Amino acid sequence: MIKTKAKIIFIMGVSGVGKSTIGSLLSEKLNIPFFDGDDFHPEENILKMSKGEPLNDDDRLGWLQTLNKLAIEQLVNKGCVIVCSALKEKYRDILNTDIKERAEWVFLNGSFEQIKQRINDRKGHFMSSDLLKSQFDILEAPKNAIEIDINLSPNNIVEMISKEILKKSEFGLFGLGVMGKSLSRNLANKGFNISLFNRHVEGVEEDVAKKFKNEFKELSSSLAFDNIESFVNSLQKPRKIMLMVNAGKIVDYVIEDLLPFLDAGDILIDGGNSNYNKTKERFHYLKSKNIHFVGTGVSGGEEGALKGPSIMPGCDKDVYKDIQPFLEAIAAKDANNLPCCTHIGTEGSGHFVKMVHNGIEYAEMQLLAEVYVMLKALGNNPDQIATILESWKASTNSYLLEITIDILRKKEGDDWLVNKIMDKAGNKGTGNWTTISTAELGVPSTMIASALFARYTSFYKEERITASENFEKNTTSNLNLTTDDILKAYQFARIINHYQGFKLIQEASKSYSWNLNLSELARIWTGGCIIKSDLMVEFVDIFKTTDNLLTNKIIIKKIKLLKPSIKKVVSEGILNELAIPTFSEAINFLNSFAVADSSANLIQAQRDYFGAHTYQRKDDNSKKFYHTDWINN
């Protein structure tokens, strides 16, 4: 297990810049081992070099892999200093293999003349100008290294390097609200050196980062700031800054505040519930400034953020490699102990799938609310309902079912707290965006929409009170249902909800060419997130063989088994005038979907009648469009 604070410091540069001298002094200062890469050449390389023959890339490959292996071994202890010319990026990539986030690069740089002179001044050390020139010719300056001019004295160089390395944090958290604080603590608990920032608002938000740091021991080695420039400069390059600020214009303001202090290659990770369209704009805007923008869904609420959320980053694949060690370390783990974090796709794909996650969440929450309505209508009090739901865990457990049980058991005095909560559902917009997106993409995510509109209906509390008086309930029948009927109807509705949600993701993936992996997405939603459930675990394997849940034999069998119950439950619910819009939508959707000949032919005829919008014919495969003069013929 690599110790998360240990580092490998690679010192690179052409021959003669003083790598070994600096490396040895630095290792003494930092009290970590020193290794001269040249000591690890295989015999054949030494023989070649002794004959003055230059090494080729094949000669170097084995040698560089040996040094990378050494580095990985050293990370188990305190890390180490390794000097190695590593003149090309591809050599450095080999040395960085599997340890990129733990490697620091120092580039000792000087002019040809300067170095030539230094070599000539050394006793018994000769290097032809041609050989030195050949090194300069292949030298590719590293993008994210600590670059040091060799004019400085060795001690000053060592001082500069150690300052740069020791003071820098690996990851920055910008915005210390509920989620930002939990994520910060999670990162610190995993051993990462982090910098914390929260804006300074006179009299409102003062010294937030410093106070937060002092509140938790795991933050003792974190750096706390309320000055943006100092915060940015406290980070190792390429800087990784996670924005945990409210979605909307604030994200743009924060980006503009940060830009003046950022360098090419830096990475901004937006962990808020931003709209994916805005994320796509920001992604391209910042790309034009050589800054990487990662729209990232983070699900799991405050507790999830602290103990392990599900994380959905959307960015270019090579950018993901830079942030992967951090995000995957703090993410929840699935049943196979794999992180519930994966590279979703590029542009706004991360925020898109988070948005749909929330859409599925809305419908899951609404289904539980409607279960609560029906069980209450059967005469159960909240405690009795909780007991019934407790018995459902064996067959259909989920995070939302578990919290609903806790909520229903919560008492305040002699009454249940839930009975005292105002029945007007709020929302922060993600269910709204999902409904807009599904309409724009032409995907019938009808349960998500119905759950959203159920919230909107609840909001008209005063009008509902009036309507309840004007349209008093008029039901003669008893609610002829068993709790098992309701359980089975609930299971049916959840399958349809998830089908619709993943269908929307699949269609977006095609429309935006994101090439999303539904199985991997289901996998990272089996832990950490709000919609984690046993059902989600089943989808991981199912999506390995199909992208359409309703064509899978296991799902088809379940749907057929559960269908009689949903029909009975919705019929009884309607007859008893119960508010069960999302349950109703589940069976209505399947009735509309599982029909070969629908009533849409009449819609086409109506459109052609009044608007001459034309229609195709079932008896003409040419896909030709027809118009009928309905009035005069």
| Least distance CB 353 / ligand 6PG (angstroms) | 11
354 is catalytic: yes
> Which sign, positive or negative, has the C-alpha torsion 345, 347, 351, 357?
negative
Question: What is the Cα–Cα distance from 177 to 174, expressed in whole angstroms?
Answer: 9
Closer to ligand 6PG by Cβ: residue 18 or 313: 313
Cα within 13 Å of Cα(572), Cβ side: 20
Distance between CA atoms of 522 and 10, rounded to whole angstroms? Answer: 39
The distance of closest approach from Cβ of residue 154 to ligand 6PG in the complex, given in angstroms and rounded to an integer, is 52
CB of 362 to ligand 6PG, least distance (A): 7
Q: Are 399 and 530 in contact (CB under 8 A)?
A: yes
Provide, rounded to whole angstroms, the least separation between the CB of residue 277 and ligand 6PG: 17
Q: Which is nearer to ligand 6PG, 154 or 301 (CB)?
A: 301
Q: Which residue has the closest beta carbon to ligand 6PG?
A: 299
CA–centroid distance for 212 within its chain: 25
When the beta carbons of 41 and 351 are compared against ligand 6PG, the nearer one is 351
3-class secondary structure, 224: strand
Smaller CB distance to ligand 6PG: residue 364 or 485?
Answer: 364
- Rounded distance, CA 54 to CA 37, Å? 16
Q: Is 345 helix (H, G, I), strand (E, B) or coil?
A: strand
Main-chain dihedrals φ then ψ at residue 308, nearest 5 degrees: 145, 95
Integer Cα distance of 197 and 183 in angstroms? 13
CB nearer ligand 6PG, residue 247 or residue 569: 247
Least separation, in Å, of the C-beta of 369 and ligand 6PG?
Answer: 12
Phi and psi (nearest 5°) for 506? -60, -45
Angle of helix 483-511 versus helix 534-545 axis, rounded to 10: 40
CB of 301 to ligand 6PG, least distance (A): 5
- Residue 106 or 332 with smaller CB distance to ligand 6PG: 332
Between 428 and 557, name the residue whose CB sits nearer to ligand 6PG: 428
Question: Do 170 and 7 touch, CB atoms closer than 8 A?
Answer: no
CA pair distance 77, 5, nearest whole angstrom: 10
Q: What is the DSSP letter of 381?
A: -
Q: Based on CB atoms, which residue is closest to ligand 6PG, 199 or 455?
A: 455
Q: Nearest Cα to 197, choosing from 186, 185, 188, 207?
A: 207
Separation between Cα atoms, residue 448 and residue 533, nearest integer Å: 18
DSSP state of 471: T
* Catalytic entry in 170, 361, 538, 585: 361
Beta strands in 61-145 (DSSP E): 79-83, 103-109
Tell me the closest approach of the beta carbon of residue 568 to ligand 6PG, in angstroms: 31
Give contact residues for ligand 6PG (rule: CB under 6 A): 273, 299-301, 358, 361, 427-428, 430-431, 529-530
Record the tokens describing residue 310, joined without a space: 């599900």
The rounded radius of gyration (Å) of the Cα atoms in the chain is 31
Question: Do the Cβ atoms of 549 and 495 come closer than 8 Å?
Answer: yes
Which of 236, 373, 348, 227 lies closest to 295 in space, CA to CA? 348
Residue 361 a catalytic site member: yes
Q: Residue 34 or 352: which CB sits closer to ligand 6PG?
A: 352
Helix (H) or strand (E) holding 171: strand 171-174
> Residue 511 — left, alpha, or beta (φ > 0 → left; ψ -120 to 50 → alpha)?
alpha
Q: How far is the CB of 419 from ligand 6PG (least distance, A)?
A: 21
Q: What are phi and psi of 604, to 5 degrees?
A: -60, -40
Token pair, residue 389, equals 């739901």
Where do runs of H (alpha helix) occur along 378-429?
Answer: 382-396, 399-409
Q: Beta-carbon neighbour count of residue 387 at 10 Å?
A: 14
One of 213, 354, 488, 532 is an active-site residue; which one? 354
Nearest approach, Cβ of residue 425 and ligand 6PG (Å):
8
Judged by beta carbon, residue 266 or residue 361, the one nearer ligand 6PG is 361
Q: How far is the CB of 298 from ligand 6PG (least distance, A)?
A: 7
Continuous segment of H or E residues that includes residue 490: helix 483-511
**DSSP-assigned beta bridge partners for residue 333:** 339
**CB nearer ligand 6PG, residue 142 or residue 348:** 348
Angle made by CA atoms 579, 581, 587, in degrees to the nearest 5: 130
**Least distance to ligand 6PG from the beta carbon of 356, Å?**
11
Catalytic residues: 354, 361
